[in-house]
Chain A
Amino acid sequence: MLNQRPEAGCGSEGCGSGGCGTQSGGSHGTGNQGCGSAGQGDYLGDPSRRLFNIAAVGAVASMALNTACGPKRLYEAPKDKLRALIAEEEKKYTAEYGKTVKVSDAGPMPGVQFAYALDISRCIGCRRCVYACVDENNQSRDPQIHWIKVNQMDKDKGVDFSHADPYYNPEQVPQEGHFYVPVACQQCEDPPCVKVCPTGATWKEKDGIVVIDYDWCIGCRYCMAACPYGARHFNWAEPKIAPSELNPNMHYLGNRPRTKGVVEKCTFCIQRSREGRYPACVEVCPVGARKFGNLLDASSEIRYIIEHKRILVLKEELNTVPRFFYFYAT
């Protein structure tokens, strides 16, 4: 299920890693570009041009990245080049928001495959997770973007999205006769969103997190059409976040500020999880319905759940193989 495939790794060591020609979701044969490969690789055009556009890294840097293997993603750039770029971003955000911003470029940890589990029998639909996520991940307050959508469902009907109501608003939750199914990115093992991206702006990292490089996203929204879970969100207007509410602890592939015209989604709080911390939604959940951990660690909560509880994944028939499990603890 979780066989390692060669793919783009964040913070990897440049040309060598992942082998040449394995880029964003290249594991699925979409192979955006590679050594001498045609097709989409051509679309991406001249690598030095892209690097200029995206990173404003100097000509020297672009030469360095234009290796014998062919063009490389910006994020596969040598560490020092990447750091230089990120330092520039940090400076930009710090000036813009008037507080010291740190942008991490932490790569996947070896031997770690992230997975998530949510206890449907416990969730009370209080939406604490929704707003903890907004605060942690710098989602736009206006227009409003929520990465987590909590669906209220009828107990009589079971898990059925055709009757789901995300706009429920009673005085108190849980409401009699209802249960709640929060949905965010399912971090699919075989993500359809990645397959359709024409620019390679979104890909699956080695630890299983599907990420977006906002500087590569052209806003075509193919990925939103491809995602069976409605997990991707589009910035229809310039996102607005009050500087006082900005979370300055950022990751390049996660919660750094987005711009109008790009797509964003849950990253398992990549800025936290790659530091070993739990995602914000896990920590805030007042009923402890949210669980997170490493699938390769036999003593992790996530393994205990998969091995002991009744679990389900959404839309299993699509064979997207989500890493987001729903379970019943009781």
Chain B
Amino acid sequence: MRIERGRIRLAVIAAVAVSGAAMLLGRGAGEPEPQTAAAAKAPAATAQSQAKPVEEKLEVPPPPFSDGIYPCSTCHAAVPPNRTRRELAMHTEIDLKHDETHRWCLDCHDADNRDVLHLASGEKVEFTESYRLCGQCHGEKYRDWRAGVHGRRTGNWNGTKGYLLCAHCHNPHQPRFHSLAPKPAPERPSRVLSGGK
């Protein structure tokens, strides 16, 4: 058996640099317009990689909302935002187990517009682009996912690859994978011919 360290190719360095730059900038808290900021800083940050400040948006199926819950503003438009961390009277079905000691709802959901999420930078992102939000912390996974390596792949190996949002497989409130019942074990070898088949 062989264990081999992978080599990094230039093309990939470029790709990584792009996502890395986007992520770094995304984390720059208090940056009011990260898009513009990214455009300004990208050339410096990524030197020769000719970084494009905005990554290509990926086609994904609709986010897996619970029935009838979206748009959130249907209810929330009438409720003034309360930014205090507290036990909620609503949404009791959500049991947050995702670094819950450090974070709560409004770290990802946007208080001013409940129909979108927001990055650490304050930039708002649609639910269909929620992978950018997840990618802020899970940068390595995000990189692998964009390369088609993390996560389930459907479609064509030489054409359009099917991507899923992180939330299609991981419950964002409890992202740990649940165990599954396995399919039946194979039959042990037996004298299959003894039945006179």
Least Cβ–Cβ distance between A64 and chain B, in angstroms: 34
A80 an interface residue at 8 Å Cβ cutoff? Answer: no
CA separation between A170 and B179, bound complex, in Å? 11
Contact yes or no, A292 B157, CB < 8 A: yes
CA separation between A294 and B156, bound complex, in Å? 11
Contact yes or no, A298 B9, CB < 8 A: yes
Contact yes or no, B155 A288, CB < 8 A: no
Contact yes or no, A167 B186, CB < 8 A: yes
Q: Out of B3, B177, B179, B186, name the residue touching A310 (CB < 8 Å).
A: B3
B-binding segment of A18-26, A54-62, A276-284: A276-284
Chain B residue at smallest Cβ distance from A277: B156
Contact yes or no, B185 A174, CB < 8 A: no
Contact yes or no, B188 A310, CB < 8 A: no
B-binding segment of A27-35, A124-132, A247-255: A124-132
Q: For chain A residues 153-173, which have a beta carbon within 8 Å of chain B?
A: 159, 166-173
Q: Out of A125, A128, A144, A293, name the residue touching B157 (CB < 8 Å).
A: A293
Chain A residue at smallest Cβ distance from B195: A237
Enumerate chain B residues within 8 angstroms of A73, measured Cβ to Cβ: none
Contact yes or no, A288 B188, CB < 8 A: no
* Dominant secondary structure of chain B at its interface with chain A: loop
Contact yes or no, A304 B147, CB < 8 A: yes
CA separation between A11 and B7, bound complex, in Å? 37
Enumerate chain A residues within 8 angstroms of B156, measured Cβ to Cβ: 276-278
Contact yes or no, A127 B177, CB < 8 A: no
A195 an interface residue at 8 Å Cβ cutoff? Answer: no
A266 an interface residue at 8 Å Cβ cutoff? Answer: no
Least Cβ–Cβ distance between A150 and chain B, in angstroms: 8
B57 an interface residue at 8 Å Cβ cutoff? Answer: no
Enumerate chain B residues within 8 angstroms of A238, measured Cβ to Cβ: 197
Q: Out of B147, B150, B151, B154, name the residue touching A283 (CB < 8 Å).
A: B154
Contact yes or no, B147 A144, CB < 8 A: no
Digitize A263-275: 1 where CB-to-B-CB distance is under 8 Å, 0 elsewhere: 0000000000100
Contact yes or no, B150 A329, CB < 8 A: yes
A38 an interface residue at 8 Å Cβ cutoff? Answer: no
B59 an interface residue at 8 Å Cβ cutoff? Answer: no
* Dominant secondary structure of chain A at its interface with chain B: loop
Q: Out of A131, A276, A308, A313, name the residue touching B1 (CB < 8 Å).
A: A313
CA separation between A286 and B180, bound complex, in Å? 10
- Count the A residues whose beta carbon is within 8 Å of the partner chain — how many? 59
B148 an interface residue at 8 Å Cβ cutoff? Answer: yes
CA separation between A236 and B184, bound complex, in Å? 22
Contact yes or no, B197 A304, CB < 8 A: no
CA separation between A297 and B9, bound complex, in Å? 13
Q: Out of B150, B154, B179, name the residue touching A172 (CB < 8 Å).
A: B179
B158 an interface residue at 8 Å Cβ cutoff? Answer: yes
Enumerate chain A residues within 8 angstroms of B179, measured Cβ to Cβ: 124, 172-174
Contact yes or no, A168 B185, CB < 8 A: yes
CA separation between A174 and B3, bound complex, in Å? 24
Enumerate chain B residues within 8 angstroms of A301, measured Cβ to Cβ: 147-149, 153, 157
Contact yes or no, A311 B169, CB < 8 A: no
CA separation between A172 and B179, bound complex, in Å? 6
Digitize B134-170: 1 where CB-to-A-CB distance is under 8 Å, 0 elsewhere: 0000000000100111111111111100000000010
CA separation between A119 and B4, bound complex, in Å? 14
Contact yes or no, A167 B188, CB < 8 A: yes
Enumerate chain A residues within 8 angstroms of B151, measured Cβ to Cβ: 288
Chain B residue at smallest Cβ distance from A312: B1
- Known contacts being A174-B179, A286-B180, is A294 close to B8, with CB within 8 Å? no
Contact yes or no, B5 A172, CB < 8 A: no
Contact yes or no, A288 B153, CB < 8 A: yes
Contact yes or no, A312 B3, CB < 8 A: yes
B residues near A (Cβ < 8 Å) are 1-9, 11-12, 144, 147-159, 169, 177, 179-188, 192-193, 197
8 nearest A-B pairs in the assembled complex, by CB-CB distance: A127-B183, A288-B152, A172-B179, A237-B197, A308-B6, A143-B192, A301-B148, A288-B151
A residues near B (Cβ < 8 Å) are 109, 112, 124-128, 130-131, 143-144, 146, 149, 159, 166-174, 236-238, 273, 276-278, 282-283, 285-288, 291-294, 297-301, 304-316, 329
Q: A298-B11, A304-B147, A310-B5 are in contact. List 20 more A-B contacts (CB 8 A).
A: A126-B180, A126-B182, A127-B182, A127-B185, A167-B188, A169-B184, A169-B185, A172-B182, A173-B180, A173-B181, A237-B193, A276-B156, A277-B155, A293-B158, A304-B144, A305-B6, A310-B3, A311-B3, A314-B1, A329-B150
